[in-house]
A and B are shown apart, each in its own frame.
Chain A
């Protein structure tokens, strides 16, 4: 190695970690309905989500750090969603794709969760029914920005909701 040259740069470790995390999101598509079909389009050749460093779709919560809830979540599915969220290792983020996931949409009905933030904390809400691919990409880019800025995903709301939910049985 030649000495005296400036072949290195310095940075804060957490900046470096955030940069790495932001560009290697592994999404778990919790697809239930119409939005899931649109999500398929987004990962297909035409829109190709891979360009934004969020491509490695994993169907196991143990291997994912981004939960994309695409579609309506009904009361019957709520415990399942919560369980999957709990099984994901930290750090983890949640994108609520579409109005059904964000607020229940136009299903103000007896069997539909009026927004998944009743169950899990949400980082980015993407409106639309279903959102266009561009909208979801913008949502993912916004999330990446906030990851870079070091914001923690768990806000105080999640603790509040966790208090209202029954504790999970220990394995």
Chain B
């Protein structure tokens, strides 16, 4: 007998509850209504619930957004120490849902859901690595981020943040495919090659081990974690605003977008609004950051395929955008310009003029590159029909952003759930059906043009004066001249600096459109001055997981070209 516990719920949660009740025999399921409809279940029922959520015609949660562990050791009011939190999205119905699997014991075991969502594979390995959850039935359950000699599970609350373990050459992972004998051999003896981590085409921190039959890749395995900088552990040991510099260094090609996504998540937990001018400046700089990110992606990708000229052409607009960002906050790459409640400082007086001159100069660079590339024979040979990802594969593997749109799914968070002022602008979401490298190139190129158009429209409605940050001094640092002159501001200032802002207890998942896909932040607060748990939703993590499947059957050179178009940013991948 299945029964679904009832608490007062909103319409989406009510629908989930109504469908679930009685659907799965012998299961324990309850539905709560937090920021998202939240289903709680136990490990035994989890696979059945998962299958139901994916297949039921009124649910159709086909895209696994994120899967993570939470350690409730220092959190009140939870039934057990460990829980698994899963965020799901329905591409057809445009809805999110959260599932919590309440685990029991200190070393919990639960069934794997890799056969339901292929994207779960690496996410489950990560939960095993950092929390020690054992997923029974997982095809390859071993550490993914930490090195092989690591002892313990780093994100458990009782693990000391600075406890390191020495890793020597003997501890470097050797994939199983290296030692495998009796491989099907067509006409060559197969060879195993190792690409990376320090290989120019893997951009420093990825490693792919592939077995080659002549030029063809017959099997491959990627290894990541060569840039695991412990973002999540660090965020638990800092105050809410001190996390911002760490978010910069997730996707460092478009740092400001991470700032904004994180700040907006915390702002929504606090229930504060950023003034219109601040929000528009954020939008403008976010879109410029998106252009920079695509410039690096396309530029580096073309370098990998031998077209060095485009790299110079695409780095020039980046350099000019750096000029604008430097004028705003003093930094070029890792900006830390966002703050919870607004921005760290006012924009310079010539902000609008600078933006307008960029709007004039950038299109020329894009057109130059487009003319060099679009009809170029070599690019056609190396990009068209190479690295094809079909629509269903892209959804199953958990793709997002330009790579998903290049496979024919027109999902863009800025359109699906407009935040700030995106619903007031007139712009289009570029979608391509082919799903190959060339489609991904074209989508990114068109996105840059759409971003320019958004910036143009944002400048038109940008108020010429007014605050860029909220006036709530529980959250925002009061201006210095007031701090020196009145007592109240001095106290606010002291509290802000010494204790950090106080975020009410609760949890929240907010999602935004990052440069290479859905950038989400799942934040848990216990009401203190620092976060209890922060999990960014790394857009390129599921794409890198799929990479070893995409390249099978292609040549090494194709694999390099494909890796570039997926835009894997190691900082975000490994966190």
Contacts and interface: CB of A to CB of B under 8 A. Distances in A.
Given A46-B315, A75-B147, A83 B234 contact: no
Contact of A77 (B197, B248, B300, B312): B197
B162 A33 contact: no
Interface in B312-339: 312, 315-316, 318-319, 322, 332-334
Interface residues of A, number: 40
A107 B161 CA distance: 10
Interface string B229-271: 1100110000000000110110011000000000000000000
A30 interface: yes
Nearest to A109: B230
B227 interface: yes
B203 A36 contact: yes
A109 B228 CA distance: 10
B228 A129 contact: no
Interface in B187-208: 197-200, 203-205
A77 B252 CA distance: 19
B146 interface: yes
A112 B315 contact: no
Interface stretch (B164-172, B373-381, B518-526): B164-172
A109 B171 CA distance: 20
Given A32-B205, A111-B229, A79 B163 contact: no
A34 B229 CA distance: 12
B334 A110 contact: no
B315 A74 contact: no
A33 B228 CA distance: 11
A139 interface: no
B230 A112 contact: yes
Nearest to A28: B198
A23 B166 CA distance: 38
Given A30-B204, A31-B204, A110-B164, A74 B170 contact: no
Contacts of A106: 234, 245-246
Interface string B214-228: 000000000001111
Contacts of A109: 161-162, 229-230, 233-234
B169 A168 contact: yes
Interface of A: 30-34, 36-38, 40-41, 44-46, 59, 71-72, 74-84, 106-112, 129-130, 132, 165-166, 168
24 contacts: A30-B198, A30-B204, A31-B203, A32-B204, A32-B570, A33-B229, A33-B249, A34-B249, A34-B571, A41-B319, A41-B322, A44-B316, A46-B316, A59-B198, A78-B167, A80-B172, A83-B169, A106-B245, A106-B246, A110-B146, A110-B160, A110-B162, A111-B145, A130-B332
Interface of B: 145-147, 150, 154, 159-172, 197-200, 203-205, 225-230, 233-234, 245-246, 248-249, 252-253, 296, 300, 311-312, 315-316, 318-319, 322, 332-334, 570-571
